[in-house]
A and B are shown apart, each in its own frame.
Chain A
Amino acid sequence: MFFPALVLCYYALPVRWRRAFLLCGSVAFYMLSNPAYAVMLLWVVVASYFAVRHLGSAERSRGTLWLWLLAVLGPMLFFKLKEPIINLWLPEWAQWRLPGLNWAIPLGLSCYTLQALGYVIDVYKRRIEPDRSWLNHALFVCFLPTITSGPIQRAPLMMPQFRAGVATFDYPLAVQGAKRMVWGMFLKIVVADRLGIYINSVLQHSAQYNSLTVLIALTLLALQIYTDFAGYSFIAIGAGNLLGYRLAENFHRPLFAVGLKDLWTRWHISLSSWLRDYVYIPLGGSRCSKLRSTFNTIIAFLVSGMWHGILPGYLCWGLCHGVVVSLERFLPLQRLKAHPLTHALGSLVTVMLMGVILGFFRDNFGEALEIYGTLFGGAKSLQWIIVDPVHTTAMLWMIGLTLVVVLARDVYDEWCVARLTRWTRGRRVLRWTFYASLVWMILLFGVLDSSQFIYMRF
């Protein structure tokens, strides 16, 4: 109820008060999870504000840039390093605690830090003029739709919108936003959480299953993370649209990617493009020797892994991606797209590969090793998760049906959008019924006591 009430109040206010109201709403929403986390948010806002003010002036230097980057990165580095360093190396009595502070990563810290960092670098590189308004700056870092898990937005897209403000209600944009939110909820509640039931049952006890079952669960894990995070992204972008802002997309039909390199241009685009622009290209990108370019790729993916967490699983995950993407340069993968059958096969293998590497994403590295032990350790007795055939069949039907809806929608967006849009134009009831049917499916097949979004823990 928080968001609808906020939207109504937002548009009821005079234009000049809207940004301030939105900032207050964003901070209040953020503090709902844990008021103490607002300290980190305030730190990042203040540090990045003074950073862009200083780096926007004439007397800037590379040294001061690094100092400001460290200042903005401080809370994130602290929380990411805390787990491996403080908890593993210090005795228990030395593992001090601040009252009221949950020692998990504060909600959205990794996302808004990267967002602020990108702005600081853009100002230093003179890609954008610094905005002197503290209100616009704070709103950019704390923007309600993206504060919890992104998508990581760029200052050149957002700052002009904050500067201009939202003077009138944009009906087509709001309708588009509402549609995105419904689709996002469907992806999360019906598809991702339903898949999660099966996947967790298998992967938490992977030793009891055979290689094939674990491979299927890992492939579905890729689909689960896609639908969970894409679902979240659709909701966030839709919420932004309802407030009158246009946000950058985060997923672009990754199920049709052939190869991991192609996949990373379609999956978590806001992070992969951030790493490309602020890590990979500054390192030299691909305009250097093949060896150096391979090194750059691996470093960029390792940073991606570290962004998720400085733990062995995430580092292995990043390393695997770096190695596979580097090796893919020697394969003519894009030729597979010439024929629908080879394209489909290539996409299937890509999703499977993504899923297999995602095995490292488990919270516990030992669990990940057990998963790979079963996956590559040869067949044992074939066991499905639930012995009761009715439960199993019913669940597989639900998963199958919902995945067909996701795939149909992605096929429509990828290949048929022009043709079908022409056909559905004027057939308003048909379009409405599609979105209403998503709500009915949420009620009928959704996991309604669903867990939080997977990416919120990063």
Chain B
Amino acid sequence: MRRFILLLLAMALLIVVGDQVIGRIVERVYHNTSLGEVGRLNRIADSVHTDILVMGASRALHHYVPTIITDTTGLTCYNCGLEGESVLTHYALLRNVTQRYMPRLILYDVAYYFDIEGGTHTRRAGKIKRMSSLQCRDSILADIDRWERLRTLSRIYPYNSVLFESLLARHGSGYDVPDADNGYVPLHGHFDDSHFVWNNEIINGDTDPVKLRYLESLIARYHDRLVVFSSPRYGATEATDTLYDPARQLCQRYGVPFVMARCDTAFTHHLELWDDDGHLNDDGARLYTRKYVIPAVKQFVER
């Protein structure tokens, strides 16, 4: 038995040494990647330095056009939207960026599914655990999963599943399209609503206390330089606006402007502006940026 335990200890030692060596190599490969989603995250964390940052999930990524904002207001802007990520990731990313510099204005596109709705399925830690320079990383990870802090003692674990993504990153990925504009990725499709079910938004009604806590942290921490938006959704009606009440109430509490554009009929019933039922195409994004984002930015600057 003693011999067996010694063998296990020797194996554990070998595994730990290998974990540290391989982990360092993978970490270097990851942080030197400049293309694809990995490259985008590295760019945002390490080098973006604009007056305005756009944060949020895919609807932020596809709905806010930095060029229009810069041309109209004179302030530089970068779109930091990330597909399929919740407020936890956006908060962590923002904290990572603001360790380096403080932007003048942050535009946050709140999404019910990712930022409010109950259930842990959208509480992902993948990108957060790879933010090695983020000082509050461990506490965020502990909030997502109490074992996550323990797992990140491994040097390889944070880079689980991303080695090939880093090695194979190249132009033409979802983010590095030729007409990408300061992080904004335009969509050029036209939505076919023949299968669209009207008034059938999935309403869980539950709220996730962890997500709301992070939404509150984000709003409270950056309240003096933040505008929160709820951008349009195809076919949305005011009946479901109450879903956004938690975000609206938080904004009210901290004196943050909340721009509700979700049910604007100039968008919600105009097929030509949509790529799919959740995302505006380039024409729709430009119209939305001019109609809602520019006035909000101007108002902030004048204030």
Contacts and interface: CB of A to CB of B under 8 A. Distances in A.
Given A444-B22, A446-B160, A178 B168 contact: no
Interface stretch (B4-12, B103-111, B130-138, B212-220): B4-12
Contact of B168 (A175, A387, A397, A445): A397
Given A178-B8, A390-B37, A440-B22, A433 B14 contact: yes
Among B4, B14, B19, the most chain A Cβ lie within 10 Å of the Cβ of B4
A274 interface: no
A206 B162 CA distance: 27
B164 A397 contact: yes
Interface string B173-184: 110000000000
Nearest to B2: A169
Given A397-B164, A439-B15, A444-B160, A388 B173 contact: yes
B11 A440 contact: no
Contacts of B251: none
Given A171-B4, A175-B4, A432-B10, A440 B19 contact: yes
Q: How large is the interface on B (under 10, 10 to 19, 20 to 34, 35 or more residues)?
A: 20 to 34
B250 interface: no
Contacts of B7: 175
B170 A169 contact: no
Contacts of B19: 440, 443
Interface in B92-115: none
Nearest to A397: B164
A435 B11 contact: yes
Contacts of B260: none
Contacts of B4: 169, 171, 174-175, 178
Nearest to B158: A443
B7 to A, nearest CB: 7
A290 interface: no
Interface in B16-42: 18-19, 22, 26, 36-37
B171 to A, nearest CB: 10
Given A390-B165, A390-B170, A448-B160, A440 B18 contact: yes
B271 interface: no
Nearest to A174: B4
B1 A444 contact: no
The DSSP consensus for interface residues of chain B is helix
B99 to A, nearest CB: 27
B135 to A, nearest CB: 24
B292 interface: no
Nearest to A445: B161
B3 A440 contact: no
Contacts of A443: 19, 154, 156-157, 160
A33 interface: no
B161 A389 contact: no
Contacts of B164: 393-395, 397-398
A197 to B, nearest CB: 10
A444 B26 contact: yes
A389 B172 contact: yes
Contacts of A447: 161
Contacts of A436: 11, 14-15, 18
A183 to B, nearest CB: 14
Nearest to A400: B164
Output the residue of A398, A444, A447 with the most chain B CB within 10 A.
A444
B163 A11 contact: no
B93 to A, nearest CB: 20
Contacts, number: 73
A260 B168 CA distance: 39
B169 interface: yes
A391 interface: yes
Nearest to B172: A389
A448 B168 CA distance: 22
A397 B161 CA distance: 11
Contacts of B167: 394
Contacts of B162: 394
A388 to B, nearest CB: 4
Contacts of B157: 443, 448
A444 B11 contact: no
B81 to A, nearest CB: 15
A134 B157 CA distance: 46
B8 A440 contact: no
A394 B164 CA distance: 5
A394 B165 contact: yes
Given A11-B1, A169-B1, A440-B18, A391 B165 contact: yes
B159 interface: yes
Contact of A390 (B18, B36, B151): B36
A299 B154 CA distance: 51
Nearest to B125: A449
Contacts of A433: 14
B284 to A, nearest CB: 20
Nearest to B37: A390
Contacts of A387: 174
A381 to B, nearest CB: 15
User: Which of A435, A445, A446 has most B Cβ within 10 Å?
Assistant: A445
Nearest to B170: A390
Contacts of B18: 436-437, 440
Contacts of A439: 15
A286 to B, nearest CB: 46
B116 to A, nearest CB: 22
Interface string A377-395: 0000000000111110111
B94 to A, nearest CB: 24
Contacts of B165: 390-391, 394
Nearest to A446: B160
A389 B151 CA distance: 30
A447 B160 CA distance: 8
A60 B37 CA distance: 71
Interface in A1-23: 11
Nearest to B174: A388
Nearest to A4: B8
A435 B159 CA distance: 20
A168 B275 CA distance: 69
Contact of A440 (B15, B151, B169): B15
A299 B271 CA distance: 57
18 contacts: A11-B1, A171-B4, A175-B4, A387-B174, A388-B173, A388-B174, A390-B169, A394-B167, A395-B164, A436-B18, A440-B15, A440-B22, A443-B19, A443-B154, A443-B156, A445-B160, A445-B163, A448-B160
Given A443-B157, A446-B160, 10 more contacts: A169-B4, A174-B4, A178-B8, A398-B161, A439-B15, A440-B156, A443-B160, A444-B26, A444-B159, A448-B157
3 smallest beta-carbon distances between A and B, as pairs: A394-B164, A443-B156, A394-B165
